[in-house]
Amino acid sequence: MRLALVASLAVLAACTVAPEPAPVAQDAAVSAARESVLPKQAADTYYVKAAAAVEGRIEARGLKPAKNVILFIGDGMGISTITATRIYAGQYAGEDGESHVLAMDTLPWSALSKTYSHDFQIPDSAGTATAMTAGVKTRSGVLGVTSDINYGNCASLPGNETESLFEIAARAGLATGVVTTTRFTHATPASTYAHIPHRDWESDANMRGASSDTCKDIARQLIEWPAGSLDIALGGGRSKFLPAETVDPEYADAKGERADGRNLIEEWSAKSPDHTFVFDKAGFDAVDFNTDVKLLGLFEPSHMQYELDRDKDKAGEPSLAEMTKAAITRLSRDEDGYVLMIEGGRIDHAHHAGNAIRALEDAMAFDAAVAAALEMTNAEDTLIIVTADHSHTLSIAGYAQRGNPILGLSVSGKGGEGGSDGADGLPYTTLGYANGPGACRVTGKDKDGKDVLDCARQDLTGIDTLAPDFRQPALVPMYSETHGGEDVAAFASGPGANLISGVIEQNEIFHVMGRALGLVPAPPAE
């Protein structure tokens, strides 16, 4: 059973045997010998403040050099999602859910990360991803730029670009990789290589023909990346790379969407004999990751499947854990070290749909990837950070008794066998959302063809709340549930993990990684 596998991976991660000490000393020497370079955004106020905060902790606690860094981002994985995932994973593995231990729970250092962006109290994934990959707070909706950018204005781009840790690492000779379950041009993965004033400009078609040498669409920026080429790029989003007239390699009824006629997948493959493209599990399985292959794997025209649905089509695409193992295998070949991002991107999408079961399934798949990384790496030379870009409005509420199904109705068991009903006499689920599509049900169409909604609280008696398409109840009716604004968790292990503690600004994560790798210099003394 896959859930049992998740649990076993977590146990294996906790019991990882460290390799011989000699290679670790050599790796430390490699890290210490790296030349640090101030990035373009070093004068940005947010950058300066975060750099000083991290430097203060280094002065107080010291810093061991890291050879490698892996940044895990559970998109939308707030603390309530972690707790619900822990219980869900434990219960379905036949264990006590409340005391179950996720792989991420085993990391020894942790902090609360403040996620607000330059202009939003409750942020989006673009601004928050830029904070973690470039060390600055910026505007929501933009990627790889400072807060001086004007949203949606290409003329404001020159001079406001940042340099991501991945660009810095690639120029320094380190291997680089990005793995995601979203389109590869989506906000979080794109923050590693793109600089653009509008996160939705994933292809030139999304820009209405405005893609130019000054302001390139995101897919084009991956192929024309000035820092060179990612060694591993795995996710979804083939349509953004293919011309509108080109039939998708997997689905005969799907085509690309590019308006400029460029086939960016062919351009990737033409870069060198090592550059390879795959689009399905069979192609992925055929790749030898113990070579110098530079792999672009795009497994769907848009986002990859939810984990809950992927089980029905295991031949179609690899799991996040499988992609993580492949990426680490490939990047570990580089003696200079590597920087790797792993995103569980569809946790966020399921929350937006008010669909907790798919969010929790994807969060479990994300945790299995964390377990795989812990098993494959050495805490003496690899800094691993597991965090989220932002939260969601998911709540765990009521007085459900211990062992009650986390996706079920809230049952306290006190005063008999009856459920814990609301003041209106109706039962409620333990999991719910502050807003979202679960607040109303479509009962038909009006004379204009618009949905007729019933937003009264539903009687859930006899309803299967564990069904895949069940939407948890919500308070405020919205077609898409929103992000949450509370702090998110950041867990860490390895060299530099001691700098992840207390309450930190989200953009400090970049500085922790950059300083641990020796790629970013200490701020000048005042």
| Token pair for 302 | 């848009």
The residues, ordered by sequence, that sit 6+ positions from 440 with a Cβ below 8 Å of its Cβ are 453, 454, 455, 477
- Is 416 inside a domain boundary? no
Specify the pLDDT at position 419: 57
In contact, 299 and 280? CB cutoff 8 Å: yes
- Is 271 inside a domain boundary? yes
- Name the residue range of residue 100's domain: 2-17+75-393+483-517
pLDDT tens column, 224-269: 999 999 999 999 999 999 999 999 999 999 999 999 999 999 999 9
The residues, ordered by sequence, that sit 6+ positions from 297 with a Cβ below 8 Å of its Cβ are 233, 234, 235, 277, 278, 279, 283, 284, 318, 323
- Is 164 inside a domain boundary? yes
Measured distance CA(507)–CA(130) in Å, rounded: 8
Half-sphere exposure of 219 (CA within 13 A, CB side): 34
- Is 459 inside a domain boundary? no
Spatial CA neighbour of 7 closest among 74, 106, 76:
106
Q: H/E element holding 339?
A: strand 338-344
The residues, ordered by sequence, that sit 6+ positions from 84 with a Cβ below 8 Å of its Cβ are 356, 360, 394, 396, 406, 431
- Is 453 inside a domain boundary? no
DSSP class of 145:
B
Measured distance CA(72)–CA(344) in Å, rounded: 8
Q: Which residues of the chain have pLDDT under 70?
A: 1-32, 209, 311-314, 414-419
From residue 86, alpha-carbon distances to 3, 67, 83, 99, 231 in Å are 11, 31, 5, 8, 33
From residue 173, alpha-carbon distances to 203, 227, 340 in Å are 29, 10, 14
- Is 351 inside a domain boundary? yes
| % of residues, the chain, pLDDT over 70 | 91
pLDDT tens column, 118-156: 999 999 999 999 999 999 999 999 999 999 999 999 999
In the chain, the number of structural domains is 1
- Could you tell me the sign of the dihedral formed by the alpha carbons of 171, 172, 175, 180, in that order? negative
Q: Any catalytic annotation for residue 113?
A: no
Query: Exactly one of 80, 110, 117, 125 is catalytic; which is it?
Result: 125
CATH of the domain at 317: 3.40.720.10
- Is 205 inside a domain boundary? yes
From residue 148, alpha-carbon distances to 162, 200, 217, 389 in Å are 11, 19, 20, 21
- Is 250 inside a domain boundary? yes
